[in-house]
Amino acid sequence: MSTHGEWEAVIGLEVHCQLLTKSKIFSGAATAYGAEPNTQADAVTLGFPGVLPVLNGDALRMAIKFGLAIDATITQRSVFNRKHYFYPDLPKGYQITQYELPIVAGGKLDIELPDGSTKTIGITRAHMEEDAGKSLHENFVGVTGIDLNRAGTPLIEIVSEPEIRSAAEAVAYLKKLHQLVVYLGVSDGNMQEGSFRCDANVSVRRRGTEKFGTRTETKNVNSFRYVEKAIEYEIERQIGVIEAGGVIVQETRLFNPDTGETRSMRSKENANDYRYFPDPDLLPVVVTTDDIEKIRATMPELPEAKRNRFMQQYGLPKYDASVLTAEAALADYYETVVSTSAGDPKICANWVIGDLLGLLNKQSLEIGASPVSAAALAGLVARIADKTISGKIAKEVFEAMFAGEGSADDIIKAKGLVQITDESAIAAAIDEIIAKNPGQLAEYRGGKDKLFGFFVGQAMKATQGKANPEALNRLLKEKLAG
């Protein structure tokens, strides 16, 4: 992490998070990503004359769910406003959003910093609003295409307090927030598809001063890495300007991922007067305490609680528990493996974190797309536990399972991998090896202990790795001792 000498950065983030509803926030049009342009634009989406908005109850419930997860106050009478500006991808000439009375107010999020310490970031508010459409510049010459499929997709805009002090903290905050919304099932969090977008407000001040410097807002930085780069660039740029005797201009800037730089988009003087006023087509959104409690009852276990439970219930180290609870789907996978296999939780964790995630990452697969189901992996772990196969053979079986060759039992059977536990058979194999290697035997007995490994290798080779390792070790030691 870079430091900035006598300067301190002050950062606040605004995250636009698309809610995972089937239909739009104010109409029945579908919200699926990637459809042919304008095929998900009904009369309401297109802003036809005479159409009216009707709030999607699912969007409201998801926003409340998010609010409860960050310990916020749910506004029991929130209001939708109109925010006016002209742009071709904004069909009505105004965006329906919440302004003075957002649905979620005053929450917080605990983030973990790279040094292991925790910091609480305040969340000022989260409000519901509709997304705009998209202007398409590619594949057009001299004109701009408009795709209104995205217009009207429900968003929550999550605004943090200016309590973030570095690019690294910003990334930690975003990752935590991202994990949370995906956990809650209120967003798919897909950053490539724009489901989770970030604007960064950055200013700098001399350490020890109270007053904030003039801030800039960098728009639409759509990956964790870009957020880090954009903020880092902006901090350095602002310090440079001030140290050179200049002043920071309040403005909106755009990040260019190719150069890693931000550039001015529009200054405050050119900012729109949005002419906010309460949308007369929508009544205030009234939420009762009973409504809130009903939603609270549907809250899933949140990441931190789950991690702590994994440490307690399964005796896992913090690292394992953190990895396994990073995603709800992975945590569910792990718990299915443990309960179905009746295996040792730590061994199960090793399989999931080491072998499974290793292969998934190599092939860039999500846990949901794993070729080995939790039940299948449990089947494998059970064969280790009941000593049908050794842990070493199990790796081979797992790779075959991942390649789609069948269940653990099928593969063990097909490849004849059942472990040899018959001690007389193992003893016979050992006898043969000792007989074949008189020189090594003499050296071993002469004190060269390292040769034990050589004999283990030879014996495993002779049994095609199927000998029960514990029995092999014990018998080999006895026989080598003479």
Partner 1 sequence: MHKLSIKQLSEGLRAKQFSSRELTQFYLERISRYEPSLNSLITTTAERALAQADAADAAIAAGNAGPLTGVPLIQKDIFCTRGVRTSCASKMLDRFISPYDATIVEKLDAAGMPMLGKANMDEFAMGSSNETSWYGAVKNPWDLERVPGGSSGGSVAAVAAGLAPVATATDTGGSIRQPAALTNLTGIKPTYGRVSRYGMIAFASSLDQAGVVARSAEDAAVVLQAMSGFDPRDSTSVDRPVDDYVAALDRPIKGLRIGLPKEYFADGLAPSSRQRIEQAIEVFKTLGATFTEVSLPNSPLSVPTYYVVAPAEASSNLSRFDGVRYGHRSESARTLEEIYKRSRGEGFGAEVQRRIMIGTYVLSHGYYDAYYLQAQKVRRLIFDDFKRAFESCDLLLGPTATDVAFKLGTNVDDPVAMYLNDIYTIAANLAGIPAMSLSCGFVDGLPVGMQLMGNFFDEARMLNAAHQYQQATDFHRQLPKGFE
Interface ranges with partner 1 (CB under 8 A) = 43, 46-55, 82, 84, 86, 88, 91-94, 146, 273, 275-277, 280-283
Smallest gap, in angstroms, from Cβ of residue 214 to partner 1? 19
From CA 464, how far away is CA 298, in angstroms rounded? 52
477 sits in which H/E element: helix 469-481
Task: Give the nearer residue to partner 1 in terms of CB position, either 133 or 379.
Answer: 133
Q: Is 200 left (phi over 0), alpha (psi -120 to 50) or beta?
A: beta
Nearer to partner 1, 96 or 451 (CB): 96
Least separation in angstroms between CB 179 and partner 1:
35
In terms of CB distance, is 81 or 407 closer to partner 1? 81
* Distance, CA of 332 to CA of 325 (rounded, Å): 9
| Cβ within 8 Å of residue 247, ≥6 positions away | 214, 241
Q: Least distance to partner 1 from the beta carbon of 280, Å?
A: 4
Nearer to partner 1, 96 or 181 (CB): 96
Closest approach, Cβ 98 to partner 1, in A, equals: 15
Helix 438-445 vs helix 451-462: angle between axes, to the nearest 10 degrees? Answer: 140
Q: How far is the CB of 17 from partner 1 (least distance, A)?
A: 24
Q: Which is nearer to partner 1, 97 or 262 (CB)?
A: 97
Q: CB-based burial of residue 86 (10 Å sphere; 0-12 exposed, 13-18 middle, 19+ buried)?
A: exposed
Q: Give the nearer residue to partner 1 in terms of CB position, either 52 or 297.
A: 52
Judge contact between 80 and 278, C-beta under 8 A: yes
Q: Which value, in Å, is the radius of gyration of the alpha carbons in the chain? A: 30
Shortest spacing between CB 268 and partner 1, in angstroms: 12
Question: Which residue intervals of 188-314 are DSSP H helices?
Answer: 224-243, 289-296, 303-314
Beta carbons within 10 angstroms of residue 119's beta carbon: 15
Rounded to a whole number of angstroms, the minimum distance from the CB of residue 90 to partner 1 is 9
Location of structure tokens 């090793």: 350
Q: Tokens at residue 192, please?
A: 């490539």
Q: How far is the CB of 284 from partner 1 (least distance, A)?
A: 10
Of the pair 50, 416, the CB lying nearest partner 1 is at 50
Contact between 102 and 127 (Cβ < 8 Å) = yes
Q: Tell me phi and psi for residue 434, to 5 degrees.
A: -60, -40
C-beta closer to partner 1: residue 57 or 447: 57
